[in-house]
A = this chain, B = another copy of it.
Amino acid sequence: MTDKINLAEKFALLEKAYVPGIVGYMNDYKLQIVKIQGPFVWHKHDETDDFFLVLRGRLTIHLRDRDINLEPGEIFVVPRGVEHCPDAVEETEVLLIEPSGTVNTGDAGGEKTAEPLIL
């Protein structure tokens, strides 16, 4: 049986921006936290939507036609197949939920591709 997950305690274990950590699972989805600072890479996930909930800081999700600006307590679900680029000026803490096999850089690959830590 799993225990409860305290997100602040888990974020304290993350050292680097854009290296996500898995804090739990729901069915075949991973519950993942990440610190975002600076621009990520443009990418998309053809096979899944992508759930973002901001917990601390401010997150901009650049889309090709507009920016989504999120503050704590705000969610945005990037639809499958839609190109996006997360970005933050200050270090920003985000909860991500997506199918367990989802790669952070989607179709883009490159040096920011990271295996999640198991927290």
A residues contacting B by CB (< 8 A) are 1-8, 23-27, 29, 31, 48-51, 53, 55, 68-70, 73-77, 79-80, 82, 95, 97, 99
Please, could you name 11 A-B residue pairs with CB atoms under 8 Å apart, sorted by A?
A2-B79, A4-B74, A4-B75, A7-B73, A8-B73, A24-B77, A25-B77, A26-B51, A26-B97, A27-B99, A31-B51
Which residue of the partner chain B has the closest CB to A98? B26
Contact A74 B6 (CB under 8 A): yes
B-side contacts of A73, CB under 8 Å: 6-8, 55
Copies per assembly = 2
Chain B nearest Cβ from A36, distance in angstroms: 16
